[in-house]
């Protein structure tokens, strides 16, 4: 549903949401300032409790003085009991004050109150003892001295109370100040977000929406913009269409060029093949039959047998040339089956055993393990390897060495691939002709057709691989066969 909405409406909606989020965030920040104030108030409560504790100390101290004075006047022992209760209250509150101290000033004041109060209690007890013993003059005189200590403790309690009162007032002021500042910052941020949103809207409208709309209308060939109203969707469809069309045209041009070149070659080869098939092959068949008949009926001398074998060999050579022309002009259809290329290599070496001995060439196979099975035509691969090995034999002097190195490798774009490197230590290929060796009818041999490597390259390409060559003059030649390795489940969906 959202994708059907035009680009401008989408972006406007997104910007409005962003502005709303910014405003909502500002409101949340404003609310948070009040929450901070409440937290500050909770902090202030600590000093408020300490303040109340100081007031309790004052009250308990004043009551103690009053109860001692009452006892001195009428000698009632109940006043002493009340005096003990308030002394206990004073000590408890003093302990609370000691637990509440946070600064050195508070700690010093509380410690001074504690020491002065201890001396005050001791002096009061002596006054009471004098009055109990009937020594009223001595008690009255000592009582006057104790009053001075009382007022000193009372003053210390007042100072302790004022310390916390000042902290309460200061914390309250700071809390309100910080809250005001945070509210101001919040409002400024909200206004900034609003102006920024408006600025972004103007940028999108002037620099994105208008150019995109114009480009969409110019690139839209199918009327997709008018149908959907979505600029990006219509533009994307148009651009993808142009890209696909360009790719298709390029592929078609390349294919047409290849088809044209191939067609020209095929026309020439077809004419040659048809002419040779009718003009040469039929007579050759007749000659072969007559030679076979003569071979069985005549008794030949050794010289005649040698001539006879030479004639037979040359006729087979002519037949091979004709067969190559026909195979090039009408390539056989691949008969695919799963087989390991290593098996094909072994079959080829076994097949060419006598020919290798005749050239005095040895073969060395390097493989860690047999190559995995691939989908291929073993007969066609065999033809490729035979062609390459025979060429290598002809390119080397007596006693040459052919090295066949097999490996499984990761090759782009095939991913997994079977790679066969066939190297010889012959004279190499001159740089001037290296780029022509795969061209049809190009050959450096006097009796060659120039179709062997061309057919080999085509066979490998039909297997979705490729045939490369590495050669330096006087340093030997290496032909590299690269074939794809596919899992059986993927091969079911592939078509050769």
461 pLDDT higher than 80: yes
Per the domain annotation, does 378 fall within a domain?
A: yes
Give me 120's structure tokens: 């005050």
Which of 305, 330, 355 is a domain's end point? 330
Assigned domain for 142 exists: yes
Instruction: Let me know whether 263 and 348 are in one domain.
Output: no
Asked whether residue 376 falls in the same domain as residue 309, the answer is no
- pLDDT value, residue 218: 67
Same domain for 206 and 278: no
Same domain as 346, residue 204: no
pLDDT at 2: 47
Q: How confident is the model over 352-377, as a mean pLDDT?
A: 91
Q: Is residue 465 predicted with pLDDT exceeding 90?
A: yes
Across the range 183-204, mean pLDDT stands at 73
Residue 20 within any structural domain of the chain = yes
pLDDT (mean) for 468-483: 89
- Spatial contact of 452 and 387, defined as CB atoms under 8 Å apart: yes
> Is there a single domain that holds both residue 263 and residue 199?
no
| % of the chain exceeding 70 in pLDDT | 72
The last residue of a domain, from among 330, 356, 379: 330
Mean pLDDT for 183-200 is 74
Is 317 a residue whose pLDDT tops 50? yes
Assess whether 145 and 8 both reside in one domain.
yes
Predicted confidence (pLDDT) at residue 119 exceeds the cutoff of 80: yes
From 374, 365, 385, 350, select the one nearest 459 (Cα to Cα).
Answer: 385
Say if residue 402 is in the same domain as residue 423.
yes
292 vs 2, residue with greater confidence: 292
* Domain interval for residue 323: 229-330
Task: Return the higher-pLDDT residue of 40 and 341.
Answer: 341
Tell whether 137 and 126 lie within a shared domain: yes
Average pLDDT, the chain: 77
Q: Which of 59, 25, 3, 295 is nearest to 187 (CA)?
A: 25
What does the pLDDT read at residue 270? 57
Judge whether 18 lies within some domain. Answer: yes
252 and 156 in a common domain: no
pLDDT for 448 equals 62
Residues 312/287, Cβ–Cβ less than 8 Å: no
Let me know whether 87 and 61 are in one domain. Answer: yes
Do 309 and 291 contact (CB within 8 A), yes or no?
no
What's the pLDDT score for residue 233?
Answer: 66
| pTM reported for the whole predicted model | 0.41
Cβ contacts of 397 within 8 Å, gap of 6 or more = 426
What angle do helix axes 341-351 and 378-395 make, rounded to 10 degrees? 50
Given a cut of 90, whether residue 366 has pLDDT beyond it is: yes
> Is position 145 within any domain?
yes
**pLDDT for the residue 468:** 92
Higher pLDDT, 354 or 294: 354
Residue 223 has pLDDT above 60, yes or no: no
Query: Which pLDDT does position 381 carry in this prediction?
Result: 92
pLDDT exceeds 70 at position 469: yes
Strand 337-339 relative to strand 401-411, pairing? unpaired
Judge whether 301 lies within some domain: yes
Q: Examine the fold and report which residue of 182, 212, 242 is the final residue of a domain before the chain moves on.
A: 212
159-173, 221-235, 254-268 — which is least confidently predicted? Answer: 221-235
Within this chain, do residues 423 and 316 fall inside the same structural domain, yes or no? no
User: How high is the pLDDT of residue 51?
Assistant: 78
Q: Is 218 a domain residue? A: no
- Asked whether residue 224 carries a pLDDT value surpassing 60, the answer given is no
Task: For residues 358 and 326, state if they share a domain.
Answer: no
pLDDT-derived band of residue 98, with 50, 70 and 90 as boundaries? confident
In a domain? residue 299: yes
Domain count, the chain: 3
Residue 413 sits in a domain whose CATH number is 3.30.565.10
Share of the chain above pLDDT 90, in %: 15
């Amino acid at each position: 549903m959202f994708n059907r909405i035009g680009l401008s409406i989408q972006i406007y909606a997104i910007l409005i949401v962003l502005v709303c989020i910014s405003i909502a965030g500002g409101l949340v920040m404003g609310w948070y300032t009040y929450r901070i104030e409440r937290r500050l108030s909770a902090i202030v409560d600590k000093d408020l409790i300490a303040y109340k504790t100081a007031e309790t100390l004052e009250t308990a101290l004043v009551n103690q003085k009053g109860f001692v004075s009452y006892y001195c006047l009428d000698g009632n022992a109940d006043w002493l009991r009340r005096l003990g209760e308030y002394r206990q209250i004073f000590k408890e509150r003093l302990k609370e004050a000691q637990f509440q101290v946070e600064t050195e000033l508070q700690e010093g004041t509380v410690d001074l109150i504690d020491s002065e109060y201890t001396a005050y209690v001791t002096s009061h007890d002596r006054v009471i003892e004098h009055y109990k013993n009937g020594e009223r003059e001595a008690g009255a005189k000592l009582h006057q001295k104790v009053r001075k200590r009382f007022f000193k403790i009372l003053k210390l309690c007042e100072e302790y109370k004022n310390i916390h009162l000042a902290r309460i007032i200061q914390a309250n002021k700071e809390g309100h100040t910080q809250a005001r500042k945070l509210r101001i910052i919040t409002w400024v941020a909200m206004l900034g977000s609003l102006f920024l949103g408006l600025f972004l809207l103007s940028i999108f409208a002037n620099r994105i929406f208008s150019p995109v709309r114009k480009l969409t209308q110019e690139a839209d060939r199918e009327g997709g913009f008018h149908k959907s109203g979505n600029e990006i969707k219509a533009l994307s469809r148009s651009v993808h269409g142009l890209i696909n069309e360009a790719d298709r045209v390029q592929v078609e041009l390349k294919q047409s060029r290849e088809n044209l070149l191939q067609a020209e070659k095929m026309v020439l080869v077809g004419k040659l093949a048809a002419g040779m098939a009718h003009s040469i092959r039929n007579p050759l068949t007749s000659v072969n039959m007559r030679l076979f008949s003569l071979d069985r009926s005549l008794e030949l001398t050794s010289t005649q047998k040698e001539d006879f074998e030479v004639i037979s060999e040359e006729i087979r050579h002519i037949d091979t040339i004709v067969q190559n022309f026909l195979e090039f002009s009408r390539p056989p259809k691949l008969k695919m089956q799963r087989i390991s290329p290593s098996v094909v290599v072994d079959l080829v070496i076994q097949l060419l055993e006598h020919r290798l001995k005749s050239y005095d060439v040895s073969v060395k196979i390097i493989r860690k393990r047999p190559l995995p099975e691939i989908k291929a035509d073993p007969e066609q691969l065999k033809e490729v390897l035979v062609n390459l090995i025979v060429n290598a034999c002809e390119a080397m002097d007596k006693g040459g060495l052919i090295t066949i190195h097999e490996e499984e490798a990761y090759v782009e774009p095939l991913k997994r691939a079977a790679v066969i490197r066939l190297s010889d230590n012959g004279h190499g290929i001159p740089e001037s002709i290296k780029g022509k060796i795969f061209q049809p009818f190009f050959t450096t041999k006097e009796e060659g057709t120039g179709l062997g490597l061309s057919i080999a390259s085509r066979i490998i390409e039909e297997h979705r691989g490729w045939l490369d060559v590495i050669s330096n003059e006087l340093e030997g030649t290496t032909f590299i066969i690269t074939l794809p390795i596919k899992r059986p489940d993927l091969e079911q969906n592939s078509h050769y």
